[in-house]
Amino acid sequence: MSSPFLDYVEEQMLLRRYRPNTVKTYQHWIKYYIVFNNKRHPKQLGDDDVERFLTYLSVEKGVAPRTQALVLNALSFLYKEILDKPLGLQLQFQQSKANRKLPTVLLPNEILDLLSCLKPPYLTMAQLMYGSGLRKSEVIRLRVKDIDFDYAGIEVWDAKGGKHRRVTLARELFPILENHINFSIELLKQDLNNSEFRGVSMPFGLSKKYPRAPTDPNWQYLFPSSRLSFDKVAKELKRHHIHPSALRKAITTARHCAQIEKSVTCHTLRHSFATHLLQRGADIRTIQAQLGHTDVRTTQIYTHVLQMGADGVTSPLSLLSGQPDKH
């Protein structure tokens, strides 16, 4: 049974243009917080209860620092935006200790094996995550206009932290991406025959500024969903992008197919992108820019492999052919 209160939280977050996965995550932790406090309503709770919950997550559950910070963000949103009762600025709780593991990185031949077990559109999405260092959320939200064939690049908009960056694009993917673009445009033509269809969701308030953009071919998702869906915020019938869970499942299935013993996720391809660039001589600052890291120290986790200075960026996807077969 759904909770009217959590449904209200979801509605308010969607109105504020939070991403669906963020909404789902915040709902999860707010519900956990309520259950932890014997199902008392959050308006009956306060700073002390939040401190106890955050300490419990650190001491008893051993959550990672990033998870604890995410929970604090969720509860801060709850009290400030929903209950109009902001939390204190000096909360006292046991902070989780960093225990960062080195990222899992695949060898080039393992990348080839994994890709050989994927079919479009998931194959292309995986090639972009490895070839351009994109996050899962970034690749599924790509639009037709984001692909720059002239300068072999991809425009990544509103990425983690609301940042924008430009990344390299393997020229080997040009004809494949052109096919995806043509498919997306043909799908749009079919959708326009539906009188209830209202195009794609637009970021922030751009649909008001550019009312024709939702049905403009350039704004269509590069990897559209196979079916139309009802937008909860706009209350309109639209075509969304492929669901992230579908891509995640495809990668997991491919990992088993390729008989790779390592733990492989979508992010593994991004880790492999960064590590393989380092191995081929790319500068750490260049890789930082490609990944969109604010602090170079985040990027330096990949320096466990040999690094040499070099100018320019060549996508590692372009260099897969002719790799020695070694595990």
> Annotated catalytic residue: which of 122, 135, 136, 143?
135
Residue that the structure tokens 């550019």 belong to: 210
Tell me the two tokens of residue 229.
């869906």
Closest CA to 128 of 270, 13, 296: 270
3-state secondary structure of 223: coil
Rounded to whole angstroms, the Cα distance separating 104 from 270 reads 10
To the query of whether residue 302 is one of the catalytic residues in this protein, the response is: yes
- Tell me the C-alpha distance between 250 and 242, whole Å: 12
Instruction: Please check whether residue 7 is in contact with residue 49, taking contact to mean a CB–CB distance below 8 angstroms.
Output: no
243 is catalytic: no
Distance CA 145, CA 136 (A): 18
Residue 270 annotated as catalytic: yes
Task: Name the strand (E) or helix (H) holding 168.
Answer: strand 165-168
Q: Which two tokens stand for residue 307?
A: 């690094």
- Selected catalytic residue, list 17, 160, 171, 249: 160
**Active-site annotation holder among 198, 270, 271, 276:** 270
Told to judge if 293 belongs to the known catalytic residues of this protein, a careful annotator would answer: yes
Contact residues for 253 (Cβ-Cβ < 8 A; gap 6+): 117
135 has catalytic annotation: yes
Which of 141, 239, 241, 293 is labelled catalytic?
A: 293
Active site residues: 135, 160, 267, 270, 293, 302
